Structure 1
Amino acid sequence: MKTILKVDYVVLKVFNNNIILANNNGKEKILFEKGIGFGKKVGEIIKKGTEIDKIFTIENQFNVQNFNEIVSKNDEKFLALCEEIIYDISNKLGEDLSENIHIGLTEHISFAIKRLNNNEEIQNPFLIEIQTLYPQEFELAKEAAIKIKNSTGVLMPDGEVGFIALHIHSARNNGKLSNTIKYSYIGNKITEYVEKELNIVIDKTSLDYARFLTHMRFAIERIMKKSLIKNDLLNIIKESYPKSYLVAEKVAKILENELEVKVVEDEVAYIAMHIQRFRVSVENN
């Protein structure tokens, strides 16, 4: 659905024939419309009443400053690529994204390309967790990686795709990313502990692992919000799976130390159920 500009805008930058950066009264907007940038020069006016396919607004002055710095350091073709990626992500999700993505994602892609051209690949310690917890964002990130490869010739490895997925996830959650990293860190720590206690190696691509990781994510959210949970099977789980319950109690201690919040017995029992699934799965393989 087209949007009609309600005021005049001054052209600040022409990324390509279809994307421009414009300003009105301190508010910067990235305007998408076929042919809108054709023949335009900096300082020209985009008239009120012009039909626009898509508008991204950058209002926070700190973001405006950072975005303008990024614009000054990168060429129009690269900026157009990044904005087309963001445009596609927003359209496919059917959501408005945090304005931070225009800074964070563009800057990340820029640095990633430079690193990879210098054979400096950074490992992503949260790759499995990102793929498991945010499959939609990861698929969109893979599509973005294809666009980057087609435009720049640089192939984004899975670790970089994972980082792009985190930027997308952050942009869907009002720019918040710290909890994502924290959850992944805690999930890794708990997984390593469970492997050590049960003397097993967990298949990070297995359905059991995906279930466990998802459960831990929601458990952490419940614990942080102090949302009480009732587990009617508490006593049965303690009696039927004593070893798994003992490990779950120690996992609960890890959560308490990391989150500084008490973990109730009912939650421990749920953790024990997922640990038991690991034991059964490993024993049957």
Structure 2
Amino acid sequence: MNEYKIKKVFNNNVVLVEKNDEDFILIGKGIGFARQKGSYVKNVDTVEHIFISTEKSDLIKNKDILSDIDPKIALITEKILNLASKKLDMKFKVDTHLGMIDHINFAIRRLKEGISLRNPFLEETKFLFPIEFEIAKECLNILKRETGINIPDDEAGFIALHLNSAKESKSKKDLIKLNQIVNKIEKLLSNKNIDVLNHPFDFKRFIDHIKDCIKRNNDKKNISNPLLKDILNKMSEEYEISKEINNIIFEELNISLSDDELGFIAVHVYKLKNL
């Protein structure tokens, strides 16, 4: 029988249920109205969306989000995530669905009240995650069409972070720190009269190398730089800049890169300096 036993009513529109020893979140207008724990949802025509949760901890962690879900926003979010899923060729976890619903729900509420948040890392997000940002821009068109509200590009930056976080299995906190690192490195190089803004492709390759250095450090993988002595002799200025970059990384991530890694960074700085 296609029925779900209610375990918890979050609000009139959201209930936690079980069926065949699996937990589900059902979203539908009025689906939780006058319902109690132990009763059954039998009329699935009233269900607008079903989330399958395989981890009960997810439900506990997201209970505040669930209690405030607007079914209309949930459906719009699903359109957005369906688009992103096709574009990125991946399936999103329950946490991603709920996190995106929560973000969009709050963003729409803010914008209706005339409150727009500035995204301090918008340019860095465009630069680091161009694919996710373009998808996010398409998502804004869906939001505008469904809600009639103009959504600023700042929100596309926030959505892009959500998408990349889901794709890379990284926390948004880590992605924000990466944005901060990029921002500070760009300012540092500009102060050294190294023009990176007019050479975005080369700067992107440089930042990709920095990300690889950080990953190797986190994975405890050491690399040897056979050219380190030559780099110290011939690129001493660039090596000093690489030490300043290392300070930035340490400030944000509490990570200190090896001298060998700094030597490779110095080579990249030299290339940027001589473009």
- TM interval, short-chain normalised: 0.7 to 0.9
Shifted more, 159-168 versus 245-254: the winner is 245-254
Q: Which runs of 5+ in 2 are unaligned?
A: 33-40
Relative to structure 1, the CA distance from residue 129 to residue 69 in structure 2 (aligned partners, 3 Å threshold; closer, same or farther) is: same
Query: Which residue is 2:105 aligned to?
Result: 110
- Aligned with 2:180 (options 166, 176, 185): 185
Provide the rounded CA distance (Å) in 2 between the counterparts of 1:240 and 1:263.
21
Relative to structure 1, the CA distance from residue 251 to residue 93 in structure 2 (aligned partners, 3 Å threshold; closer, same or farther) is: closer
* Deviation readout 1:180-214 (Å, 9 max, x if unpaired): 12222222222222222x13453177212222222
Q: What fraction of aligned residue pairs are identical, expressed as a percent?
A: 30
Relative to structure 1, the CA distance from residue 175 to residue 209 in structure 2 (aligned partners, 3 Å threshold; closer, same or farther) is: closer
Query: Which residue is 2:149 aligned to?
Result: 154
Normalising by the residue count of structure 1, what TM-score does the alignment of the two structures yield?
A: 0.75
The answer to whether residue 230 in structure 2 is matched with residue 232 in structure 1 is no
Query: Which residue is 1:208 aligned to?
Result: 202
- Aligned with 1:128 (options 103, 123, 132): 123
CA drift of 1:118 comes to: 3.7
CA drift of 1:229 comes to: 1.7
Secondary structure of the corresponding residue to residue 197 of structure 2: coil
CA contact (8 A) 1:29 1:55 kept: yes
Amino acid at match of 2:268: H
- Aligned with 2:24 (options 12, 24, 28): 28
- Aligned with 2:42 (options 19, 41, 44): 44
Relative to structure 1, the CA distance from residue 167 to residue 205 in structure 2 (aligned partners, 3 Å threshold; closer, same or farther) is: farther
- Aligned with 2:159 (options 140, 155, 164): 164
Query: Which residue is 2:87 aligned to?
Result: 92
Q: How does 1:76-87 map to 2 (within 5 A)?
A: 76-87=71-82
Normalising by the residue count of structure 2, what TM-score does the alignment of the two structures yield?
A: 0.77
CA contact (8 A) 2:195 2:272 kept: no
Query: Which residue is 1:61 aligned to?
Result: 59
Amino acid at match of 1:66: D
Instruction: Count how many residue pairs are aligned between Structure 1 and Structure 2.
Output: 256
- Aligned with 2:68 (options 44, 67, 70): 70
Please give the root-mean-square deviation of Cα atoms over the aligned residues, in Å: 3.4
Amino acid at match of 1:69: S
Secondary structure of the corresponding residue to residue 95 of structure 1: coil
Q: Which runs of 5+ in 1 are unaligned?
A: 1-5, 32-36, 48-53
Amino acid at match of 2:24: E
Relative to structure 1, the CA distance from residue 209 to residue 128 in structure 2 (aligned partners, 3 Å threshold; closer, same or farther) is: farther
Relative to structure 1, the CA distance from residue 56 to residue 93 in structure 2 (aligned partners, 3 Å threshold; closer, same or farther) is: farther
CA drift of 1:166 comes to: 0.8
Provide the rounded CA distance (Å) in 1 between the counterparts of 2:159 and 2:123.
14
Relative to structure 1, the CA distance from residue 245 to residue 68 in structure 2 (aligned partners, 3 Å threshold; closer, same or farther) is: closer
Amino acid at match of 1:28: F
Secondary structure of the corresponding residue to residue 24 of structure 2: strand
CA contact (8 A) 2:124 2:179 kept: yes
CA contact (8 A) 1:8 1:24 kept: no
